[in-house]
Amino acid sequence: MTCSVYYITFFFFFFFFFFLNYYCEAQNQKASALYVFGDSLVDVGNNNYLKLSIVKANHFPYGIDFPSKKPTGRFSNGKNAADFIAEELGLPTSPPYLSLVSESKANKDNVSIVGGASFASAGAGIFDGSDQRYKQSIPLRKQVDYYVEAHNEMLKQIGESALQEHLSSSIFTVVIGSNDLSGYFDSSNLRHKSTPQQYLDSMLFSLRAQLQRIYENGGRKFEIAGIGAVGCCPARRLKNNTECEAEINFWALKYNEGLKSMLQEWQSQNHGLAYTFFDTYAANDDLILNPSTHGFSEVRAACCGLGELRARAPCLPVTKFCSNRKDHVFWDQYHPTETASRILVDKIFNGPSQYTSPITLKELLHL
């Protein structure tokens, strides 16, 4: 082998392995942290710290399929969407923010959310008054207030440059809106004050304001979920002879259309902002219309509860629950089983494009 051929071969393999290593590192890239905002679909225990709240999943049989086999505050038989999103990102589940506050008080030190945090709260909505039926939750505005306070504390802890780098590679997940929509259709007072479209427009306006606050405090990569097929949950099927409630589903679709447009405009007006929108409604629809494809045999009734569709009463220690949770889409009156949540998050992370746009969470992670 001549000297020139030797060097050409050497450099070929050098650059080949260099780019192969770079590609593998990019594929294995992890988010710095996960920050979660939302309602009971992603609450991992914040409501356990709300003394006046009557909406808590801190009793059996919640958590029956969780690794600890104990209730954790998640409205699921096991893990929920927040857990699976963290897993896909290669991170541990973000702890409830109020648990961090409690620990900091006990240890007499400052709260740190550098490792991520969940601000989500069961019963929460975009509007402050969405939890009137539930007496106490943490509405989105207050969740963002908590984040801003914690952001300012992180600024003191690690400095502006390090914080900017940390947050720019973190994921901000927002799953909220179902309680607002349900609250509107369950309240004659709200329906008297505004039309459904006016109410949706107000929801989107308020949501954008809170998203902007997160952006102004370092958030750059967002995973934002639309509203699911609310009218197909067991509790609402009871209102319509076990069939999906068409009116609220129609407006859930309308809200998602408005949300997609709002996010596009929001991104165009904020430098460095990237997001993935998850069409929860379409993904829900797929589970309900094609259950056997995903291993389900029951799409109407809850697994845990009492009465017709096991939805006349909530999931309580005295209520019955199904023995095979993997064949049910719904765990209780309103929430998916662990199995359903896992399937939905796989679509959030990997697509296909009919569920996630303009990119998937996996693509957002690698930006």
pLDDT value at position 133?
54
The CATH number given to whatever domain includes residue 348 is 3.40.50.1110
Same domain, 158 and 104: yes
Domain range enclosing 279: 33-365
Same domain, 335 and 312: yes
Same domain, 25 and 170: no
Same domain, 153 and 14: no
Same domain, 256 and 228: yes
The catalytic residue positions are 40, 332, 335
pLDDT tens digits, one per residue of 329-366: 999 999 999 999 999 999 999 999 999 999 999 999 99
Same domain, 20 and 73: no
Same domain, 2 and 46: no
Same domain, 9 and 76: no
Closest CA to 113 of 94, 133, 132: 94
pLDDT tens digits, one per residue of 134-147: 558 999 999 999 99
Q: What is the pTM of this model?
A: 0.92
Give me 124's structure tokens. 């929460």
Same domain, 214 and 300: yes
pLDDT value at position 130?
56
Query: What single letter denotes the amino acid at residue 44?
Result: V
* Total count of domains within the chain: 2
Helix, strand, or coil here: 330? strand
Same domain, 9 and 128: no
pLDDT value at position 108?
87
- Distance (Å, whole) CA 317 – CA 155: 44
Segments in the chain below pLDDT 50: 1, 3-27
- Distance (Å, whole) CA 212 – CA 169: 17
Same domain, 18 and 135: no
pLDDT value at position 163?
98
pLDDT value at position 9?
44
pLDDT value at position 74?
98
Same domain, 7 and 75: no
